[in-house]
Each structure stands twice: as structure tokens, then as C-alpha cells.
A = this chain, B = another copy of it.
Amino acid sequence: MVDGVRVVSGDSGFLEDIRGKDFVFVLVLGTTDTSLIPGITIAGASPELTHYTPPADAEYLVLGRCRVIPGIPVTPDGIPTPAVITRAAVKLAGAPVLVVDAGLRVKPLIPYVDVGGRPGGDIRSGSAVPLEVVEEVFYRSKLLGEQLAKLGRVIVVGESIPAGTTTSLAVLVGLGYDAWNRVSSASPINPHGLKRRVVEEALRNAKLRSDMSPLELVSRIGDPIMPAITGIVIGAFEADRDSKIILAGGTQMASIVALLKEIKREVLGNTAIGTTRWIVEDRQSDLKGLVEEIDPSVPVYAVNLDFSRAPYPGLRKYEEGYVKEGVGAGGACLIALASGRVGLEELHNAIYEEYSRLVNAK
């Protein structure tokens, strides 16, 4: 067991295996026009600004400040991006960060890996990303995963893509899972009804067939980070069967697990999900149930973050159901704790310090 980490699903074997290991943190970025649908996401102060959130998150993670926007990404209520948590945690874990552009409309002004992606469209069209782009991103991301495997480190993959839970819902439903009302939201009031209407329209226009490949399904109703993350995981596994992968995120990672199961099921034996307590305690979503339906052997670990006594109102809002997860925050905290370098209290203090630096820099 690792202090501060809860085994939500599966067993603790994976967690024992990664104790004291070295890590590399990969942040996969993308945008879609699905995030422009009013009310679908609060990952940005306005729908238009959601296209700036992923590059700004990446800049904040690496630099401690943003370049593509003034300030940092916030919700319409001004609650800060979870990149604040991720930055504090990856520093504690001593993990290098690699940023991947899987398809961004706005590029970050820091080094990033190009994998041939393109921004996704609005999934309501039923043709979200051209199939040749999905296949190329998958191919190149496998190459990236192969090189990452040679580092001999645990690979942690986080994401930043606004409206990513909606595209995940579409893919889960498209793959046959009853995922309605079970994906999470950065908002305390999950817009399940709106997400359902969007996904139903997407499914109507996508004209899915039962003989479609998983990548073809992604090209109709998914988003560009899906082929990138699945590619990295599969490439790493093919290069080294001992590669360990942590999918750092909430219910978006359930769709990744579902896709991995379709494309190359064996990799799930080396894969875990790392997330936050806010995700697994959320009553408006069901990460645990979704993963158990897809493959009950995939462990889900949650870090017991608790900001109820945080000295900043922006962080205390997390306890009211805002944000919950993103930019791989939960997985980053997991590796900080698993590294054995810090405990839960030091982790909280480091996050508060990071937030304090941010507030004082304004």
C-alpha cells in the first residue's frame, strides 16, 4: 500500500510494482469543436477560450506560467486549472515532462511533440477527425511509445482536451457500453442531458457499423487524443512487454481502456488508472463501474486529496465538485506518493505553495 492512495478497483499489485520507481510524465493535448457547444464544458472562461486551455495548461505545467493567454486557464467562475496540482506533484516525483500535440488549434509556446494530429471537429457531425489523420496519429504515437519504453521508466499519460468526457461518452456508447449519465464533468452540476443530446446526434450522423475498426469509430465520434494515448501505450508495450503505464485521468480514461481492449487487450495487464478522490467520490459519474465493466482487472487508484482546509478559496472549491481532475493531476499525485519521496501532507503543502506562488505572481 502507498499512504494516501486508495485502491478503488482491481488489486494493489500494480501499485506495489511501481513503488520507488522512476517516472516520465506525458501530457497529451487536443481540442475539438465539440467544446464550443455552450454549456458542454467549463474548461475555459468561455467556449472560445477552451481552445486555449490545453496549450496554456501545458505551458503552466512546464514553465509555471502561461504564454498563449494572460493569467492561467480558469473556469467561468475563476477556479484555476488542475495543472497547479500536476505541476507541484511532478516536481515532487522528479519526473520529466513531455508534451504531445495530438491535434491543437492553438499551439503551446514550449517544446512539444508533433504526432501528425489535427484538431477534431464537432462530433455532432458524425465525422469528428478524418480517418487518415486518426491512423497517422496512432502510427506515430506508437513510435513515440517505443522510444519512451527505452527509458525504463513508468510512463504516466495525462490529458487536456475540453469536452473530453463528451467524446469519451460517445466512444463508450459506440463500443456498446451503457455509459449514459456516468462520465464526469469539471462542473459540480454535470450536464448529462446536454451530453446525451450531443452524443445521440453524433451517433445518428456517424452511421456506425458493427464491422468498423476502433480507429474508424474514433474518427467518427471521438477526438484526436484517443489515437495518441492508445498509440503511446501500445507502442511502449510492443517495445517492452514490461512497460508500466498509468493513465492519469478520470472517466476519459475509461474510453481509453475500452479502446485498448478492442485494439490490443494484452496491454491492459500493464495498465492502471490513477485519479483523484473527487472523481471516485463523485455521485454524478461512475469511473469504477465503467472500468469494472470494461475489464475488472485494470486497477483504479485514487489519491486522497482533500482541499477542505486549503488556505485558498480557489482550491476549496474543489471540495464543492468543481474541476475534480485534469492535466493528469491525480496520476501525478499518485507518482509523487509512489516515489516514496513525500507523503500526503507534504504533497498538499507543495500544492498550496504552488498555488500561493501563482496568486502572488498575479
Which residues of chain A from 119 to 175 have a CB within 8 Å of any chain B CB?
136, 140-141, 143-144, 147-148, 150-152
Contact of A111 among B22, B107, B140, B150 (CB under 8 A): B140
Quick check: which of A89-97, A291-299, A304-312 contacts chain B, the rest being far away?
A89-97
B residues near A136, Cβ cutoff 8 Å: 109
Copies in the complex: 2
A22 neighbours in B (Cβ, 8 Å): 152
Does A116 interact with chain B (Cβ within 8 Å)? yes
A112 to B116, CA, bound (A): 9
Interface string of A101-120 (1 = CB under 8 A from B): 10000010111111110000
- In the assembled complex, the Cα of A152 lies from the Cα of B147 at a distance in Å of 16
A37 within 8 A of B: no
B107 near A140 with CB under 8 A, answer: no
Q: Is the CB of A114 within 8 A of B107?
A: yes
A1 within 8 A of B: no
Residue ID in chain B nearest A111 by CB atoms? B144
Interface membership of A63, Cβ < 8 A: yes
Indicate if A15 sits at the interface (CB-CB under 8 A).
no
Query: Is there contact, CB below 8 Å, between A114 and B114?
Result: yes
Give Cα A115–Cα B113 distance, bound, in whole angstroms: 9
List the B side residues contacting A140 at CB < 8 Å: 109-111
Cβ of A87 to closest chain B Cβ, rounded Å:
13
Contacts of A100 in B (CB 8 A): 111
A68 within 8 A of partner (CB)? no
* Chain B positions within 8 Å of A116 at CB level: 109
Q: What chain B residues lie within 8 Å of A62 (beta carbons)? A: 143, 147
Q: Is A263 an interface residue (CB 8 A)?
A: no
| Cα distance, A121 to B192, chains bound together (Å) | 54
- Decide if A147 touches B115 in the complex (CB within 8 Å): no
Most buried by B among A111, A113, A114, A116: A111
When distances are taken between beta carbons in the complex, the residues of chain B under 8 Å from A49 are none
Q: A98: CB under 8 A from chain B?
A: yes
List residues of chain B with CB within 8 A of the CB of A98.
147
Residues of B within 8 A of A63 (CB): 143
Find the residue from A113, A136, A150 having the highest chain B CB count within 10 A. A150
> For the complex, what is the distance from the CA of A144 to the CA of B109, rounded to whole Å?
12
CA distance A143 to B60 in the complex (A): 12
Please give, as numbers and ranges, the residues of chain B lying within 8 Å of A112 by CB-CB distance.
Answer: 113-114
| Distance between A134 CB and nearest chain B CB, rounded to angstroms | 15
Which residues from chain B contact A115 at a C-beta distance below 8 Å? 111
Contacts A107-B114, A113-B111: A96 and B143 contacting too (C-beta < 8 A)? no
Residues of chain A touching chain B, judged by Cβ–Cβ distance below 8 Å, are 22, 24, 62-63, 94-98, 100-101, 107, 109-116, 136, 140-141, 143-144, 147-148, 150-152
Given contacts A96-B147, A96-B150, A107-B114, 15 further A-B contacts (CB under 8 A): A22-B152, A62-B143, A62-B147, A63-B143, A94-B150, A95-B150, A98-B147, A109-B136, A111-B115, A111-B141, A112-B114, A113-B113, A113-B114, A114-B114, A151-B151
